[in-house]
Amino acid sequence: MLEQELKDIWNNSSQSGQISIETKQLTEELNTKINSIQKKIRSRDIREISASIIGILLFGYLLFEIPFPITKVACGLAIAWFVFVIVKFRKSKLQNTKTDFSLTVSEQLNNQKTMMLQQSSLLDSTLYWYAIPPFIMNFIFILGLENPIDYNWNNNVAESLLPFTSNFKIITLIGLALFYAFTFWINKRALNKDVKPTIESIEKMQQQIENE
């Protein structure tokens, strides 16, 4: 009986040691994957904030340069939206913290899961704050473009770039619709390809640690 008990203890300890090694390896692989995602997030946040600053400057100029009332309203909406985007991605940047290895593995996983859930919420809602609002703003902007002669306005550069004719307006709006649809698809793809699988991996790790 004693011999059998010793065998059982040895087998259990061997299994526990093997599980601990596997857990450590999986944790390291998960950390590598999360670090890669975090680098992408940091690059995206910097890119979007920079683009928004340029957008504010551009539409600020158009707000004072273009004489058409409806287009001026669209410029004001655009500036407000760009400020909102900066705040949104600034918050994302602050939430995207590096893993603190002084914490326990369980605490690290909890922090990583919280961060990934925040990114999941951000990406999952892009249709409502990143695609539809700027399309509506651009629609109003283009709709408000009138005949420059009626306002005695002359700007050769603006007249060559802005869609003043009906056909040009339709083509521009179709192009913008396709662009924002593509943007929405890209964000959904990132959500399903990177963020959701990472959350699932974290949850599996948490369950494995609880079972040890």
Indicate the pTM of the whole model: 0.83
In a domain, 7, yes or no: no
What are 147-189's pLDDT values in tens digits? 999 999 998 888 889 999 999 999 999 999 999 999 999 999 9
In a domain, 163, yes or no: yes
Residue 104, pLDDT score? 81
Give the 3-state secondary structure of 17-60: HHHHHHHHHHHHHHHHHHHHHHHHHHHHHHHHHHHHHHHHHHHH
Number of domains in the chain: 1
Q: What's the CA gap between 89 and 51, in Å, rounded?
A: 11
More confident residue, 210 or 57: 57
Top-confidence residue, 48 or 29: 48
Domain span holding position 163: 28-94+102-211
pLDDT tens, 43-101? 999 999 999 999 999 999 999 999 999 999 999 999 999 999 999 999 988 887 777 76
